Chain A
Amino acid sequence: MTVHIHLDDVELDYPILSQSSRRLGRQLINVATGGQLDRSEQGRITVRALTDITLRLEVGDRVGLIGHNGSGKSTLLKLLGGIYRPTSGTVSRAGVVGSLLDISLGMSPDATGRENIFLRGALQGMSRSEIARLVPGIIEFSELGDFIELPMRTYSSGMLLRLAFSVATVLSPDILLMDEWLSVGDEAFQSKAEARLHEVVSRTSILVIASHSANLISGQCNRVLYLDHGRLIADGPPAEVLPMYFAAPPEPQ
């Protein structure tokens, strides 16, 4: 089956479970959140995070997600990645999903750099033998040298990010999800990382990237989805959609 993600009439409600949510109720409804707060029949409060989304993402789509904070970009990314399931409507997805959302998640400060490559690699869905095959390349790219045998708590934050980046970008998923562009390390490493990231993006069949940067989206994407209060209000080429948001961004309510 060809790689695709199809959403049909998707709605997604978030339950709000904190005790204090009872008291929030009305006051919050029109405050600067994107979602609309609602009470279900049992008196539970839910946030309508996505409303009425119908969408066809096909091979070759380079999709930029734009919208205010809270407009549903992250929720949509998680829905596309299969982390959330819609409250109603259908999602059909073919292809392996990879994400560059939180690239150091799961790394342990007490494990050595090398062990962390295996940990992180396993979480990314790679088999042990596959990771073992890639380890030399990852170590070389990260420029950690002998530090790779030391516990990660001895690393500077730059070293840590270089390692996480080097592991995350050996992936070659069919569908790649990103929240803003990744940029790590000092200047020398940055240009190398930039090239690497472009390779990853070019290998993937569908790219979805949420961003607040018009430059990034016009450079990387051939299609832009504009979300506002959980609704898809525009879907088209960057030249058409970007001005709608960046020229005169509507005030958050």
Chain B
Amino acid sequence: MTTATLDRQDTPSRIVRLSFFLGWQDVRLMYRRSVLGQFWITLSMAITFLAIGSVFGLIFQSPVVEYLPFLGCGLVFWNFLSLIVNEGAVSFIVGDAFIRQLPLPPIIFFLRSIWKTVFVLLHNAIALILLLLVFSPPPTPAILLVFPAVVLGGAGMAGLALALAVLATRFRDVPQILSALIQVLFYLTPIVWLPQSIPEQARGLILGINPFYHMIQIMRQPLLGQLPTLQEWGIAGALAAVFIALGALVYARNYHRLAFWL
């Protein structure tokens, strides 16, 4: 009989590969029985662009070629970051049975949720690229800055989500509070509306304290042909560093308790 030999489960490469595989399966199986499969993600994002774009474009009386790309980038990146926080925060609770049964590091089930949001982002990116091809001028090399920006923003918010995931496993009200808060933040973040529409003196208060705003700023601008300022990179980078450190600290101190809290 052929048998499998086993290696240690907790090496970084094992953790990354297993979580990647599980996250990909999640996305694929979610839409398994539909004709379009996971491309429903792409299609529903495209429908959102058109619906919000045409109505709010009229309300704000902004030219479609300016408003639609702005809206599209904002929606896609908002979707990415808010999913990281929402799904990441419940990832240990969702992975309950695995964490209590299998001798695997719990972080695998957090990373599984992060990979899942990355795959969702990639599907949404298809809709966004089509939108930009139609409505935006030809791209400049500055557009490449979107890649480090997405990594920075995604990793930063994932750090925050990891800390929240530990907290949410211990205190089950946290996911409810979070999803309420994130829904409010959607309206407080310039995604549908332009940052300039807030009076200068109120911007520090409304935008300054919103981490989503800073992350979305650096991710969105390169796609709109603008360069984020050094200050914007600095704020986003500092936020990401603090969040990642916080996540690592909270996880390292509590990971062995997760099995008891579930």
Hey, which bits of chain A sit against chain B, CB under 8 A? 14-15, 17, 78, 81-85, 96-99, 101-102, 105-106, 108, 110-111, 115, 118-119, 121-128, 130-131, 133-134, 137, 151, 170-173, 196, 199, 203
Contacts and interface: CB of A to CB of B under 8 A. Distances in A.
B98 interface: yes
Given A119-B22, A123-B104, 10 more contacts: A99-B101, A102-B101, A121-B4, A122-B21, A123-B18, A128-B17, A128-B21, A134-B3, A134-B4, A172-B4
Contact of A126 (B6, B29, B100, B256): B6
A160 B9 CA distance: 26
B25 A119 contact: yes
B135 interface: no
B32 A106 contact: no
A81 B105 CA distance: 12
B185 interface: no
Contact of A137 (B2, B7, B8): B2
B40 interface: no
Contact of A83 (B5, B25, B32, B101): B101
A230 to B, nearest CB: 15
B2 to A, nearest CB: 5
A14 B260 contact: yes
A96 B5 CA distance: 9
A78 to B, nearest CB: 7
Contact of B102 (A105, A171, A196): A105
A96 B2 contact: no
Contacts of B16: none
B21 A110 contact: no
Interface of B is mostly: helix
Interface in B240-262: 256-257, 259-261
A98 B6 contact: yes
Interface in B89-138: 97-104
A97 to B, nearest CB: 5
A127 B99 CA distance: 20
Contact of A102 (B4, B17, B97, B104): B97
Most chain A CB within a 10 A radius of its CB, from B5, B8, B14, B17: B5
Contacts of B257: 15
A196 B1 CA distance: 9
Interface of B: 1-9, 14, 17-18, 21-22, 25, 29, 32-33, 97-104, 170, 256-257, 259-261
A108 B25 contact: yes
Contact of B33 (A98, A102, A110): A110
Contact of B259 (A83, A110, A203): A83
Nearest to A103: B101
Given A96-B8, A122-B18, A171-B4, A15 B261 contact: yes
- Most chain A beta carbons < 10 A, residue from B3, B18, B32, B259: B3
B166 to A, nearest CB: 14
A197 B100 CA distance: 24
A102 B260 CA distance: 18
B7 A85 contact: no
Contact of B22 (A17, A115, A122): A122
B6 A99 contact: no
B6 A105 contact: no
A121 B257 CA distance: 26
A123 B29 CA distance: 17
Contacts of B2: 133-134, 137, 170
A170 B7 contact: no
Nearest to A86: B256
B6 A172 contact: yes
A85 B155 CA distance: 29
A105 to B, nearest CB: 6
B4 A126 contact: yes
A125 B104 CA distance: 9
A121 to B, nearest CB: 8
Contacts of A81: 103
Contacts of A119: 21-22, 25
Going nearest first, the 8 A-B pairs with the smallest beta carbon separation are A85-B256, A172-B3, A110-B32, A96-B6, A82-B103, A81-B103, A126-B4, A110-B29
B9 A83 contact: no
Contacts of A130: 4-5
A128 B24 CA distance: 14
A137 B3 CA distance: 9
A199 B1 contact: yes
Nearest to B169: A17
